Structure formats: C-alpha cells, structure tokens
Amino acid sequence: MSESSNKYDFTTIEAKWQQHWEAARPYKVTVDSDRKKYYVLEMFPYPSGRIHMGHVRNYTIGDVIARYKRMRGFNVIHPMGWDAFGLPAENAALKRGIHPAAWTYDNIAYMRDQLKAMGLSYDWDRELATCDPSYYRWEQLIFLKMLEQDLVYRKETTVNWCDSCATVLAREQVIDGCCWRCDEQVTPRIMHGWFFRITEYADELLADLETLKGWPDKVVTMQRNWIGRSHGLSCDFPIEGSHEKLTIFTTRPDTIFGVTFMSIAVEHPLVDTLVAGTEFEQEVRDFVRKTIAEKQRKSVDEELEKHGVFTGAYCVNPFTSERIPIYVANFVLMEYGSGAVMAVPAHDQRDFEFARKYDLPVRQVIVPPGHDTASDALEEAYTEPGVLIDSGEFSRMDSEAAKLAIINHARDHGIGRRATTYRLRDWGISRQRYWGAPIPIIHCADCGIVPVPEKDLPVVLPGSDDPNGSHAPLHQQEDFIRTTCPTCGRPARRETDTMDTFVESSWYFARYTCPDFMDGPLDPDQTGYWLPVDQYIGGVEHAILHLLYSRFFTKVLRDLGYVAIDEPFKNLLTQGMVIKEGRKMSKSKGNVVDPNDLIQRYGADTVRLFSLFAAPPERDLEWNAQGVDGASRFLNKVYRLVQANKTVFAGAPTVQNLDGLDTYSRNLHRKTHQTIKRVTGSIETNFHFNTAISAVMELVNMAAGLVNENRNIDPAVLRECCETTLLLLFPMVPHFCEELWQQTGHNHTMDTAQWPTFDAEAARENSITIIVQVNGKVRSRLEVDSDTDNETLERLALADERVMKFIGAGKPKKIIVVQKKLVNIVI
C-alpha cells in the first residue's frame, strides 16, 4: 500500500472544500417563515492579530452545533464579525506608527483567513466590524433614543481611573482593584461622565434570570449577586441642633432599638457641616484625608482595620428618642445605601468590632428563639434572626414580623420607608480615548447639552479614513471639537468621550440579522424571525460584564420598539479555557500553542476533532500534543476503512432483512444504530462531543476489526456503517467527511444531508449480561436472552457454579433481582 492511500491528504482536501464553500456559499441564509430557525452564535473576537486556541475551541464548538442543527432541518444562522474598537489598536498604533484603523482592518483580514482555514460554516455575508461607521452610527442613534428616554445622563462622580490606559473604567471592569485589561492599579478620580441607567432595569434583570433555564446556574448566580438587591428600611435620624437629618439604610430594622452609635462614610456630604467650627473639626478632617489616601493605596485583599473618629455631633433615634453619637468610619461605603449606617454592635460583627475598639456600648435586642433575656457578655455579634427584647412595643416579636412592623411604624410616623438597594451601579460608558464610537453630543454655552441631530449621524471618528490621520484622544483634536450648535447655530464644542466598547458588543447579535439595513439599527422583519439567539457560546469570563450589558440592552431595545424579545440568549454554553501544563496559555509562560502551526501540521479537521474530544466543552481543556496525534490517527483509520471498502458504496442495497444476516453483520448493524443513538443523545443533552466521538470510535474500531479479520460483512451493513460514520462526524470534521462522501459516489454535498435516525429495533441487544453478586460483590456473569424473566434469572444465578461456591450450604437470606441488570444474593 502506498503512502498516499494510507493517509489522507488534508492540505489538498481542506483547500478544495474551503474553495467550494467560498464559491457556493452554502451557509448563506435568508428568512424562511416555513422553516424553524436556529441562531448559533459564538462571542465575536477582538481583532488582536491572530486567533488563539481559545478561539479555535469556541468556534469549533459553535460550528459543530450549527452544522448539526442544519442536518436536523433547521434554518441556521451562524454569523461572525469583529469587536473592533478598543485600546490595543491605539497602543499598537503608537508603537508601530500606523493608524489604529489600518492596524485593525489588517488584523481582521488576517484573522478572517485563519477562521476560513478552520472550515467554519459562517454566513460571511453578515460579517460586520463594530469600528465601521455603518455599525456605530446606529449605536449613536440608540444612544440618542436612550437620551430621550432619560436612560442616559451625565454626572460628576468619583470614577475608576486607569493611568496606564488613560481612561475611566466601569465598576465591573475593575478586577481586584486593577484594570481588567492591563492589570494596573486603578485610582479614584472625580470626573464628568456619561452613564446608562442600568439600575432602572435592575428588578427586571433580576427577575428574568429565572427565565434563563438554558444558562449555567453559576452564571445566573453571579449575575444575581452582582445585582445584589436587598430590601429593608430607610430611616431618618434627626441631627441634634440642626435641621439636617441622617438617612440610613438597614436590612435589619428589627435591631433598631439596639443602635448605640452612627457610622458615616468619610465622603459623606454632612461631614463638613457636622464638624465645622467645632473642637472636633481638625481631628475629623485629618482622619478623612488619611482614610481617603489609604483607600486609594489599599491593595486588594487587605481588609483595612476598622477606624473611626467621633464627630462631636449627635442624632436622635426616632424609635427611642435616645441621643446617638455620630462617628466617621473608614469601613462605611459612600457608594452603597446612603453612606450612613446605624450601628448595632450586638448584632453586626463590624459594628461589634468597632464598639469594642472604641469602648462603645453593646445593647442586645435580639435573643435566640427560646431565650428571653440577654446573655451576659457577647464574644461576637449575634447576627441570626431571633426574638426581640427591650424593643418597646415590638418586644417578643420574632425578627421577621418585627421587620415588617417596624417598617410600617416608620412609614406611619413619617420617619422612614420601605427601601430597596442594589449593589449594581449605573453603567459609566465614557472613555477618554480615540478608538471608540464618539458620543453624539454637542456642548453649547447657551443651549447646554445638545444631541447631534439624527440626520447628522454618524459622528465619524476623525482621521479614521486616512492612514495618516490623527489618532490622538478626541479631547486633543481641536478640528473635531469645534462645531456649531444645532439649536442656536453659535460656535459650540463636541463631546470628546467615546463609548465603552462593551456598548458595541451589547447589540451586535441583533445587527447580524440585518447588517446592511439602512433605515435604522434593526430591521423588524429580520429580528422578528431570527432573534433571540438560540445558543450562545463563549468564555465564562464574560459572565457578568458582557452578558449583563447585553441583557440590559435587549430590554432597552425592546422598550425603544426595535426588538420584540426580553432576553437575548436563550441558551448559554460557557466553555472552559484551553490550558497547557495545567496553566493558562500565555506568552509570559511560554506555553502558547499557535493554531496556525497545528493546522499546517495536522489539518483543521484534526485540530477540531482533538479540541472536541479532549474534554467536555464546559471544562478546561488540557492541550496535549500526543493527543492530537491520536485524533489524526483516528481520521486516517476512518479514511482507510472507507477507501478499502469503496466498492460497497457502488451498488449495495439498504439493509432490509435482518434475519438473513450473519452474526457479525448483525452485530455491526446493531452497533451502527446504537452509535447513532448515543451520538445524538450526547449532542442533544449537553453538547458532550467527547463522548459522541468515543462512540463513533467504538463503531469504527468494530468495523475495522471485522474487516481485518476478513469477516464477510454484508455489503449493505458495511455501507450503512461507513455512511453513518461520515454523517455523524460531518459536523466535527467537515472537509474530511465531504471528501469521502464525494469519493464514495454521492451526488450531493453533505451540507444538504440529513442527520441519521436510529432504528430502535435494530439497536436492541438480544442477549444481555446479568451480573450476579453475593453480598454485593460480583461473583459471576450470566449471558441471557434480553427478555428472560426474573424467576428464571434467580434460578440461573443460584445454579451458577461460581455462585454456589460462595453461598455454600446455607439458605440465602434475601435475593434481589433487578430487571435486565443483576441478581444480588444476600447470605
């Protein structure tokens, strides 16, 4: 046998089919209301230069699903595009002296070729790049519509500033106190910025998590925690000798009789008025200054020791009329609740520590159920619910009832109200960089903030159509800034912030349905048919950022009338990382595997097959070079099997008469149908392609074994086996299967082939193995007819020679017979 017939020539074959797909465009789709649609989407890549193994894995998984669903008869939309705005382009531009646009489009061209070399079945006619004005002009329009609906606003706040990126970050983009992109320490800074009112949708974002049955629990939980809704009481404590009052939020109104002091944040607006002109002023101001500096400096995992100083001021507990001293404390967050906390040291561990440190009273007002007096001395705060004591009219109520009663009391007396707070903050979208979508706003000295009229959109990024154009941050580009006010016509200045790139990725999946639509952001005829995304696939690292923003945007687009769905992604698959030597691949660790090298050496199909086989999709995948050899070996084995039996394809009839088959043929026929069942099951239940591939391997091993042993397998059975193998493998290794399909005389390409169905009767085993246990230990096996009844099984088991040896002369205490499984004899 010559070399060439022994191994398949992946280079030639893959090029051939890629050319075919390029020319015939079998993956181009249009709306077809007679067919059920299926939208498969992988998170689109940032065009960083070249694809990496994570992309290979992600896109392979998506491609298998797309191809599989096509074979199941769905009208499958499977698009690809580029998350093309972002900072690396600017950095690269500075380093290499080329324009960010040029750098980005070069990368896109290169990476597009790489994706095509993987044989991914995208509808390339839908490709989009978010840095293209034809995309971001609609984003600008959406921004303006949101502004009209008061979902966008501008405010001055403390923001997270990343020095190295020279821009602001949203809270979600700060990871362990560092920038999510460059890992540099983030520092607070006070700036103007634009915000999306995502908190307006907090309740819906939370409630609709319940509808996301197709999402991993982990992601749902992460989002729920991120939104962090809590219910409680907002209550006013009048400040002594002042008209001001201190408003606090608590989730434990039942402990309000145990308040012994107040803690307020160093940034609290009342700090100044409380201490101005008092003997405490100096000390408090020093403390505030010191603490703010400390917070900036603080590294992530160090929890600051609790400190505070007395302001000299008192407020009054509206429930007890007691005087309550007010402290400024370093552990109170201004960003959450109202920046002021009622301190109940007996029932809150932080307050307890603080009280211990500054020798403040601890007053128990909750005791464990069944107790009715306070314990002598607490060693730590009692934070569980319980029964109220020393709480006036609320004494003896349990915590839950008391919470309600106290909230109602506060409401009835005008001192407080039921309140809900969220951990979620509004989404700050302003970025002070160049390579992003300009925010379409004009600042006029007379008219204030004026939206750019719709007819003037897009506000094109200056210089982006000129390779020598400036790519300085917009606030440095005077020509861009100078404009006239659309309202009064006087000279005015353009907004220079660009939008966070997460804005682009929050609606791209919708634009894929109508990438060329010119009359608005989205074409209702297209979105109505294609949305939502049926299966979304990407890394779990986007569990909060991208997925939460996209959910928010979907709801906004719905309320603006652009889409008719509530949630963008029906099912979500979060795939694990590709690791090597137990660690994430990274240049610094020198353990990076380059997809290009692999594809050249093994071909795309082998790379695809291995990345599917080595682990189930949701787990991390350990890259193993020898494992890739194994995948390659398997494909060659299939190749040889098909090549050696090409003749059976020519005229073999379909399998009809089972009775006429010899044992070997019957076994192979059965195995074929069992394999269809197993593969279909693996894909349908959880996309566990690793077990699907194992099943096909077993089938191929059996067929190749029988052929090697020169069993004269019935041609119809052998043909069925080989064709089934190709059909089952096609979604995973498409070039390879198409080639063999064609070589074996099929007139139509596999793109139009149907997924095989299994015949339950053919798959049924007629003899089964029954396990015989004595006291739970396996002692023997019985080969019996599959419909042997339980009494017979018991009789056969007891008569078994090996079993008899173990049960001896005694009479069995108990015999358990499990249908078609086992017999357990207890002695």
Partner RNA sequence: GCGAGAGUGGCGGAACUGGUAGACGCACUAGACUUAGGAUCUAGCGCACUAUGUGUGUGGGGGUUCAACUCCCCCCUCUCGCACCA
Chain residues 234-253 in contact with RNA, contact rule CB under 7 A = 249-252
Handedness of CA 314, 315, 321, 324 (dihedral sign): negative
Beta bridge pairs of residue 261: 343
By CB under 7 A, the residues from 339 to 358 that bind RNA are 339, 341-342, 348, 350
Beta bridge pairs of residue 160: 169, 188
Nearer to RNA, 125 or 294 (CB): 294
Nearer to RNA, 381 or 531 (CB): 381
Three-class SS state of 631: helix
- The three-point CA angle 575-577-580 to 5° equals 145
**CA gap 225, 209 in Å, rounded:** 11
Does 794 participate in binding RNA (rule CB under 7 A)? no
Q: Give the range of 46-54, 93-101, 744-752, 770-778 binding RNA by CB under 7 A.
A: 770-778
Report in angstroms how near the CB of residue 294 gets to RNA at its nearest.
9
Report in angstroms how near the CB of residue 181 gets to RNA at its nearest.
14
Does 230 participate in binding RNA (rule CB under 7 A)? yes
Residue closest to 699 by CA, chosen among 638, 631, 768: 638
Nearer to RNA, 228 or 660 (CB): 228
Q: Give the range of 97-105, 564-572, 723-731, 772-780 binding RNA by CB under 7 A.
A: 772-780
Determine the size of the site formed for RNA (CB under 7 A): 88
Scanning the structure block, which residue is given the tokens 């909750």? 366
**CA gap 554, 270 in Å, rounded:** 39
Scanning the structure block, which residue is given the tokens 């960003």? 335
Report in angstroms how near the CB of residue 392 gets to RNA at its nearest.
20
**CA gap 474, 96 in Å, rounded:** 20
By CB under 7 A, the residues from 615 to 674 that bind RNA are 615-616, 619-622, 624, 626-627, 629-631, 633-634, 636-637
Selected binder of RNA within 33, 166, 228, 420 (CB under 7 A): 228
**CA gap 44, 92 in Å, rounded:** 21
By CB under 7 A, the residues from 520 to 549 that bind RNA are 540-541, 543-544
Does 771 participate in binding RNA (rule CB under 7 A)? yes
Report in angstroms how near the CB of residue 822 gets to RNA at its nearest.
5
Nearer to RNA, 329 or 727 (CB): 329
Nearer to RNA, 104 or 421 (CB): 421
Nearer to RNA, 488 or 826 (CB): 826
Selected binder of RNA within 12, 211, 225, 476 (CB under 7 A): 225
Report in angstroms how near the CB of residue 232 gets to RNA at its nearest.
6
Does 301 participate in binding RNA (rule CB under 7 A)? yes
By CB under 7 A, the residues from 39 to 58 that bind RNA are none
Report in angstroms how near the CB of residue 826 gets to RNA at its nearest.
5
Does 379 participate in binding RNA (rule CB under 7 A)? no
Under a CB-based contact definition with an 8 Å cutoff, are residues 457 and 141 in contact? yes
Report in angstroms how near the CB of residue 227 gets to RNA at its nearest.
10
222, 224, 228, 250, 665 from 217: Cα distances, Å: 8, 10, 16, 29, 46
Report in angstroms how near the CB of residue 292 gets to RNA at its nearest.
13
Three-class SS state of 597: helix
Three-class SS state of 298: coil
By CB under 7 A, the residues from 676 to 735 that bind RNA are 688, 690-691, 693-694, 697-698, 701, 704-705, 708
Tokens for 36? Answer: 């059920």
- The three-point CA angle 334-330-223 to 5° equals 50
**CA gap 82, 105 in Å, rounded:** 10
By CB under 7 A, the residues from 150 to 179 that bind RNA are 175-176
Selected binder of RNA within 81, 337, 416, 436 (CB under 7 A): 337
**CA gap 692, 702 in Å, rounded:** 16
Does 777 participate in binding RNA (rule CB under 7 A)? yes
Residues 6+ apart with CB under 8 A from 58: 42, 43, 537, 538, 539, 575
Report in angstroms how near the CB of residue 145 gets to RNA at its nearest.
30
**CA gap 578, 619 in Å, rounded:** 9
